[in-house]
Structure 1
Amino acid sequence: MKKLITEEDIATLVSVTDPQYAPDGRRAAYVRTTVNHKRDSYSSAIMIYDTESGISNPWTFGDNRNTSPRWSPDGRRLAFVSDRENGVPQLYIIDAAGGEAKQAADIPWGVSDPIWAPDGRSVLVSVSLTSAERADEKEKKKHDEYEPVDIQSLTYKRDGKGLLNGSWAQLVLIHLETGEIQQLTDHEADHYDAAFSPDGRQLAFTANLCELGDAGKPSDVYLMNLADGSLKQITPHRGSFGSCVFSPDGSYIAMLGHENEFRNATLEKAWLYDVKTERLSCLTDMLDVHLSDALIADSIIGGVTPRPVWTNDGQGFYVLGSEQGSTGIYYISIDGLVYPIRLEEEYVNGFAFHPDQKSCIAVIAKPAQPSELYSISLEDGEEKQLTSDNDRFIEERIISVPEKLQYETKDGLTVNGWFLKPAVFEEDQTYPLILYIHGGPHMMYGHTYFHEFQVLAAQGYAVVYVNPRGSHGYGQDFVNRVRGDYGGGDYCDVMQAVDEAVQAYPFIDSGRLGVTGGSYGGFMTNWIVGQTDRFKAAVTQRSISNWFSFHGVSDIGFFFTDWQLGHDLFEEADKLWDRSPVKYASRVSTPLLILHGERDDRCPIEQAEQLFTALKKLNKTTSFIRFPKATHELSRSGHPEQRMKRIRYICSWFDDYL
C-alpha cells in the first residue's frame, strides 16, 4: 500500500545534478546528493555513468561533499572539489584509469569552480581572499571574533556567507606538476565565470571593476593576456554580463547578459563577441525568453546552471531558457537564428552534450518525479532515463499530480499556475485551500516536483500556486509589471487565483482558506493579511515587512528597493511606508505565523521582529519561530532537520486554524 508523503521524506529524496560528459563520450560524471543523518547536513558523491553498461558507480565515498566534477581535456583525469579534509573545500584529481584521488594543493581559504587549462597541466579555481591575503600562503590566520570590522563598501555582507570582511573571489591557477599556486587577479571585486581561450593564451572573466565596486553596479567581461596580465574590457559598462565561453577556434566569445534596461527584471539575452573585430552584438533582441534558470524547486540541492555550449563547427551554441513554467534547451546561431531543441513540461536543471553532438544528457525533474539523469536524442527527441535514484520513492508514495490553471486578469494579462488536489481525495468531501506565493519576485513556479506542496496535499490541503505579474517565463513586459507596483496588480493576480480555484473546484471550502509564501512571497503574505480578512490562517516566511528599514539592512536592499519600489528613500519615504505591510498591522485579523532564519542577510530577521512586535502590541494572534544559523535558503538547502521542522510548523498552524 502506498504511503502519504511527509516532511521526513526530505531525507529520502536524492538530488542528481551537474552532468559532465568525458571527451570520448564513453562516460559521464554527475553529482548525487543525499541527506546525511549523522551530520544533519548533505553528502555528495561523484558518480560515473558508463554509457556501454548503463551502470552508474561512485568514484568518491564517505560523508563529505564532493562536487564540481570536471574532465581533463584528454579525459584521463577528473578534477573535483571535496571538503573531506577539515571541512575546507580543496581541489582533488583522480586518474580515470583508477586509484585514489590526490589533493592538488592546500589553499587554507578553500576553493570552488574548477576549470581545466587547455593543455591539461593546470586547473583554475576561485578563492575568496582579502587584499592582505595571498592564495599561496601556507596558513590561514585565525580570525579574532572580537576584532572590529572596518567596512568601506556597501557590499560588506552576503546571504549565506555573512560578513565578507573585505574578501573577494579571486582567480587562482594551480599548476599540477609542480604544485605552484599562481594568483591571477587581485582587484577588490569578485571575479567569476572564467573561461580559457582554446590556445590557453587568454582568460575571459566577469567582474565589477567600477570605482564604487558595489553590487548593483555594472558587471563586465574582461580579457586577460596570461603572458603579461594585461586586461581589456569587452562589454559596455552599463549592464550585467557573464557566462562567457570561447568558440572552438577562438574566433568568438558567447556570453549571457543584459544592459540593465529594466534593472533586475531585465531578461538575460545571448551575446556574441567577435575577437578579431572586437564587436559585441546581441543575438536575441527579438526573443522574449529569459535565458537562465528561473524555476523554483525544493528537491534539487547544488544545481549548476550550464554556460553556453558551442557546436563543434563553431556556428552556434546551446543555452538554458525559462519559458511558460518550463526550462528548456535553446539553440542560437552566430547569425541570430534561435529555436528550442527541447522544451517540454519539465525542469531541465543541467545538460551536457555528447562529443558527437547527436545527443545530450540532462538532469530533469518532472511534476510527479524528482530529478534523474536522462539521455535525449537531438535527432528525434527520444528520451531515456539513465538513473533511478528516486524510482522507489515514487513507487511507494501517493503523489498528487498538478493540474494547470490559467485565467485572464481585468487588465488583460494571462496568468498561469497549477492546482494540487489533496493526495487522498473523496468526491463527497470539502477541503481547505492554501494559496502559495513564490519569492523573487522575478522567478517562477513550474513543471517540477515540489516536495513541500506534496506534504501539504498529503495533509489534506488543496494548493494553488501561480506566476503573477513579475514572474519570469512570460516575456519582458510581464516580468517588469511588478516594479513600482508591489501590492497592486500582483495582489489582484494572486487573489484572483483563489477565486479561480474556488470556482473551478466545487469541493474547496471557501471558508477555510490559507496563504503562505517566502521572501517576496512573504511580503505578499504580510500585505494580504493587512488588506483582507478573507484568509483564516497565514504563514509568512523570510519576509519583508518594512521597506524603509529593508533598504539599509538587506545585503541587496540599497539597490533592490530603488529598483523594485521606484521610490527614493530620502525624498519619498512616505511612499515606502505606504507599501510596507507593518503599517497595516492594526488591520490584521488573520492568525499569522512568522518563520525566519537568524542568519538571513537577504531579508534580515529584524523584518520579522518588527512585524511580530507590532502584532503583539496590538493583541493580534501571532507566533514567531526563529531558526538559529539559518539563511535565506532555509527552505531549499538549509539543514535537513530545520527544513523538516519548518514544514511541521506550517502544517500545524494550518491544522489549528483551518
Structure 2
Amino acid sequence: MTMTRPADGPAAESEIVPVVAQDLEEIWTPSAVRLQPGSGRVLVMETRPDSEANAYIGRVTLHDPVRPDAAPPVLVDRGPGIRLPAFAPDGAALAWVTTRDGRSVIREASVAATGEPSAVRDVAELPDAIEELAWSPDGVHLAVVARVPVDRSWFETSEDRRPPLRLTTLRFSADGIGWTVNNRRQMFVVDVASGDARLVSDGTADDHDIAWTADGEGLLFTSQRQPDWDLTEANALHRLDLASGTVRTLTDATREIVRPVPSPDGTRAAAIAVDIARYPSSAFPALIDHSSGEVVDLRSVIDRDVSPGSIAWVSNDAFVAVVGSEGRIEVVEISCAAGEPVSARPILTGPRQVTVFAGHADRWVAVESSPSSPPRVIVGMGSDSTVLHDPNAHYRATHRLGDAEHIPVDVDGTTIDSWIATPDADGPHPLVVWLQGGGTQYGYQWSHEVQLLLSAGYAVAWLNPRGSAGYGTAWMKVNAAPGAAEPGEGWGNRDVQDIVAVVEHLKSIHDIDPARVGVMGGSYGGMMTAFLLAKTDLFAAGWAERGVYNLYSDAATKDEAPWFFESYLGVSHLDDATPYWDASPLKYVAGITAPLAIVHSENDRRCAIQQAEELFFALRRLGRQVEFIRFPGEGHSLTREGTPVHRRQRADLLLDWFGVTLSGEARLPATV
C-alpha cells in the first residue's frame, strides 16, 4: 500500500488529515460531461451532498480546454435538483432541468462559441419529475419524459382519505419511486420558443428511453405494451409518428432494451440489451435495424456490461460505449460498418474507472477515478489526456488517502481478481471484507467508505467472485441454481468458496490479524455476509445491509417479482419452495454466531424490510449478538442516493459497529 500525494503539489505532513464521515460533503462528483458542438468548450455537471440543506447541490460549468488557466470556468447554474444538461445540435443553446418548489423547470441559455451564457430563461415548467431531455435535430423542440400521475387528485389527497388502490397487475411499485401503477412515465414535446408542452404518450403504458428519429418526425422509445407485461422486464422498441400519433412496434418483446441511440443516418440504433429469457445476462451492446426490427446481439464481440446512457455514435459505422470489465470501467469503440465484421477496441483503459465519457477517439472528455483519487474531468485525443477540471484537488491534497494493490488469486484454476488497501501503520491490522451488490463489479473505483475505514485503522479488501458482473454472461451464470435453464452452483456456494479462498490468501501475504476479520455488503453483498457468517468461522463480525435472507418470502414482495428469482432458480416459488429455501441464509441462521448488524431502509422495495425483520427475529430468538438499524424514509440506494444526513449517520454507525466488534472500542448509545 502506498499513500498518495496530489499531482498538483505536495502538502506538509501536518496538513494531511484522516478521512472522516462528514467530509463526504466536500467531494464533488461529476455526473455528466458534454462537448459543445462547434466550439472547443466542455460542459461539466457535478453534485455533492449537503447535510445542512439535506439535499444534493449541483452546478453546471463551462470550461475552455485550450486555455484552462487563462479562461476560468463559467458558472451556468447551481442549486438542488440540477440535471440533464444538453446542447442543441448546433451548440448555440444549452438546456437543463432544475427543481423549484417541487416542480421541474426546463431552463435554456444561449451559449455562443465564445463568451458567457446569455439570455438565461425558464422555458417550461412541469409539476412532475422530469427524467429525460432530448433536443430535436432542428433545435426547435425538446422531447421530455416525466412521471405523471394517472389521477393527480389521489396523490394530493391525505392518506387517511385516499381511496384504496385496486390492482390487477404486478410490479405496481418500484424502489426509489413508490407507486408506479398510477404514476407512469409519459412523453412530452416542448416548443422551445413558446414553452408549450404537448403530451404525446397515449397513457396506456410506461414510455421512456426517448430518442428523436434522424428526420425529426418521430420519437423512438421503449415500452412494455405486450400481454402480461407485468410478469417480465422484457420490453420492445417503438416509433411514434408525431404528425399522426401512430405508434409502430419495431422489435419483439423478448429482451430488455435500454437507451437506444439512432445512428446518424437513422437506419439503425445501438442499444444496451439484457437477455431476460436466459437471465442472468450481461447488459451487452446490440444493434437494432429500424426496418426489419432485427436485434443483433454483440456479445460475441464484447460480452461485458455497458453503462446506461453511455452509447454515442461517432459515425454511421461506429459507436462508443462505457464498459465494465475485470475491475476497470473503460471506453470501447465498436466498429459496425455494413457488410464488415463487427469489432471492438478500447479507447481508454487501464487501472481506473472512467464513469462518464463524451466524444470519440479524436477528441473526448471523461470523468476518471481510482481507489486513491476522487473523480476529476480529463480531456484528450487518442490515449493522451490532461486534467481539465479537478474539483477535488484540495481534498486530495489534504486527506490521507490510501491506494489499493491488485492481487489476482488462483482458486481451483480460475483467477479471481481482488484488491486490498492497508493502513499507513504497523500491523497486524483488522480487516474488513467489502462485498458488492448483485449484478455489479468492484475494482479500481473511488470509495469514500473504503478511505474512511482505512483512516480508522482497518485494512479493506474487495473482490469479484464468480457470479459478479465484469467477466461476461457465463461468469454470471455460476450463481444460477442447479435447476435453472442453464444450471450453475447457486447462491451461497461457489461464491462463498471464492470469497473464503481470497481472504485466506490475503491473510497469508499481508499483516492481518486473523482474529479480527469482518465482512460487510449490501443487497447481494448483504445476503453473502449472512451466508459467510453462517457457513464459515472466518469472520469475527458482520454488517449486512439491504439484503435478502429468505428468498421464499421475498419472491412476491420485491419490485423485480416474479421474473428475477425464477430466472436464477428455474422455478416459481409456488411450484417448488425447495430451491428458494436452499438459497436463503435464513435456512442456515443457526450457524451465525458472530455479532451481526442488520441495516435496512423502511421504504426498500427491492428487498423489503421484512427480510431484515425475519433475520433479526431469528438471531434474537437464538440469543445471538445482533443489532437492527432501520433508516426511515429511505430506499434500497441509501448508500448512494440517500439523504446526506442519513448517509453521514450510517457512516458513523458503521465505524462504531466495527470499532466495538473488531477493535473493542466504546459504543455509541443505542436507541433501545
Aligned to 1:188: 204
Matched, 1:451 2:448: yes
Matched, 1:64 2:66: no
Deviations, residues 339-392 of structure 1 (Å, cap 9, x unaligned)? 1122221111111117xx6110011112211111110212xx111010121111
| In 2: Cα distance, 1:252 partner to 1:165 partner | 32
Asked whether the equivalents of residues 515 and 538 of structure 1 are also in contact (C-alpha less than 8 Å), the reply is: yes
| Alpha-carbon spacing, 1:40–1:279, altered in 2? closer, same or farther (3 Å) | closer
Aligned to 1:399: 401
Deviations, residues 309-358 of structure 1 (Å, cap 9, x unaligned)? 1124x12111111111111111112231221122221111111117xx61
Asked whether the equivalents of residues 251 and 293 of structure 2 are also in contact (C-alpha less than 8 Å), the reply is: no
- Name the aligned partner's letter for residue 642 of structure 1: H
| Alpha-carbon spacing, 1:655–1:242, altered in 2? closer, same or farther (3 Å) | closer
Matched, 1:3 2:17: yes
Deviations, residues 288-326 of structure 1 (Å, cap 9, x unaligned)? 432413xxxxxxxxxxx43421124x1211111111111
| In 2: Cα distance, 1:100 partner to 1:629 partner | 39
- Name the aligned partner's letter for residue 471 of structure 1: S
| In 2: Cα distance, 1:262 partner to 1:416 partner | 26
Aligned to 1:415: 416
Asked whether the equivalents of residues 235 and 241 of structure 1 are also in contact (C-alpha less than 8 Å), the reply is: no
Equivalent residue in structure 1 for 2:285, among 261, 270, 289: 270
Deviations, residues 414-455 of structure 1 (Å, cap 9, x unaligned)? 211101112x222xx311111111111x11001111111111
User: What is the TM-score normalised by the length of structure 1?
Assistant: 0.91
Matched, 1:436 2:434: yes
Matched, 1:306 2:320: no
| In 2: Cα distance, 1:249 partner to 1:200 partner | 12
Equivalent residue in structure 2 for 1:24, among 38, 41, 48: 38
> Where does 1:246-325 land on structure 2 (aligned, <5 Å)?
246-260=262-276, 262-263=278-279, 265-275=280-290, 277-278=291-292, 280-282=294-296, 284-293=298-307, 305-312=308-315, 314-325=316-327
Matched, 1:86 2:101: yes
User: What is the TM-score normalised by the length of structure 2?
Assistant: 0.90
Aligned to 2:492: 487
Deviation at 1:257, TM superposition (A): 1.2
| In 2: Cα distance, 1:288 partner to 1:178 partner | 45
Asked whether the equivalents of residues 480 and 491 of structure 2 are also in contact (C-alpha less than 8 Å), the reply is: yes
| In 1: Cα distance, 2:295 partner to 2:226 partner | 22
| In 2: Cα distance, 1:195 partner to 1:571 partner | 41
> Where does 1:340-419 land on structure 2 (aligned, <5 Å)?
340-353=346-359, 358-378=362-382, 381-410=383-412, 412-419=413-420
| Alpha-carbon spacing, 1:283–1:547, altered in 2? closer, same or farther (3 Å) | closer
Equivalent residue in structure 1 for 2:188, among 139, 154, 172: 172
SS of equivalent residue, structure 2 residue 554: helix
| Alpha-carbon spacing, 1:108–1:262, altered in 2? closer, same or farther (3 Å) | same
| In 2: Cα distance, 1:122 partner to 1:161 partner | 28
Deviations, residues 567-608 of structure 1 (Å, cap 9, x unaligned)? 431222133123222222222210111111111111111111
Equivalent residue in structure 2 for 1:109, among 104, 112, 128: 128
How many equivalent residue pairs? 627
Aligned to 1:120: 139
- Name the aligned partner's letter for residue 400 of structure 1: G
| In 1: Cα distance, 2:297 partner to 2:156 partner | 49
| Alpha-carbon spacing, 1:234–1:41, altered in 2? closer, same or farther (3 Å) | same
- Name the aligned partner's letter for residue 530 of structure 1: A
Aligned to 1:594: 598
> Where does 1:545-584 land on structure 2 (aligned, <5 Å)?
545-584=549-588
| In 2: Cα distance, 1:480 partner to 1:519 partner | 18
| In 2: Cα distance, 1:213 partner to 1:306 partner | 24
Asked whether the equivalents of residues 325 and 445 of structure 1 are also in contact (C-alpha less than 8 Å), the reply is: yes
Task: Name whichever of 333-342 and 390-399 sits farther off.
Answer: 333-342
SS of equivalent residue, structure 2 residue 294: strand
SS of equivalent residue, structure 1 residue 11: helix
Deviation at 1:472, TM superposition (A): 1.3
| In 2: Cα distance, 1:625 partner to 1:337 partner | 49
Aligned to 1:502: 507
SS of equivalent residue, structure 2 residue 202: coil
Asked whether the equivalents of residues 131 and 186 of structure 1 are also in contact (C-alpha less than 8 Å), the reply is: no
| In 2: Cα distance, 1:498 partner to 1:259 partner | 33
SS of equivalent residue, structure 1 residue 4: coil
Task: Name whichever of 212-221 and 590-599 sits farther off.
Answer: 212-221
- Name the aligned partner's letter for residue 404 of structure 2: P
Show structure 1 runs of 5+ residues with no match: 134-138, 294-304
Equivalent residue in structure 2 for 1:45, among 47, 59, 74: 59
Deviation at 1:42, TM superposition (A): 1.0
- Name the aligned partner's letter for residue 425 of structure 1: A
Deviation at 1:90, TM superposition (A): 2.1
- Name the aligned partner's letter for residue 508 of structure 2: Q
- Name the aligned partner's letter for residue 440 of structure 2: M
Asked whether the equivalents of residues 20 and 70 of structure 1 are also in contact (C-alpha less than 8 Å), the reply is: yes
| Alpha-carbon spacing, 1:217–1:536, altered in 2? closer, same or farther (3 Å) | closer
- Name the aligned partner's letter for residue 120 of structure 2: A
Aligned to 2:6: none
Asked whether the equivalents of residues 251 and 295 of structure 2 are also in contact (C-alpha less than 8 Å), the reply is: no
| In 2: Cα distance, 1:283 partner to 1:330 partner | 16
Aligned to 1:299: none
Show structure 2 runs of 5+ residues with no match: 1-13, 482-489, 663-672
SS of equivalent residue, structure 1 residue 398: coil
| In 1: Cα distance, 2:543 partner to 2:446 partner | 22
| In 2: Cα distance, 1:288 partner to 1:118 partner | 30
Asked whether the equivalents of residues 354 and 368 of structure 2 are also in contact (C-alpha less than 8 Å), the reply is: yes
> Where does 1:109-258 land on structure 2 (aligned, <5 Å)?
109-132=128-151, 142-146=156-160, 147=162, 148-214=164-230, 216-258=232-274
Deviation at 1:140, TM superposition (A): 9.7
| In 2: Cα distance, 1:269 partner to 1:375 partner | 26
> Where does 1:528-547 land on structure 2 (aligned, <5 Å)?
528-547=532-551
Deviation at 1:232, TM superposition (A): 2.3
SS of equivalent residue, structure 2 residue 403: coil
- Name the aligned partner's letter for residue 105 of structure 2: Q
| In 2: Cα distance, 1:390 partner to 1:216 partner | 42
Asked whether the equivalents of residues 306 and 351 of structure 1 are also in contact (C-alpha less than 8 Å), the reply is: no
Asked whether the equivalents of residues 122 and 174 of structure 1 are also in contact (C-alpha less than 8 Å), the reply is: yes
Asked whether the equivalents of residues 145 and 210 of structure 2 are also in contact (C-alpha less than 8 Å), the reply is: no
| In 2: Cα distance, 1:515 partner to 1:249 partner | 52
Deviation at 1:403, TM superposition (A): 0.4
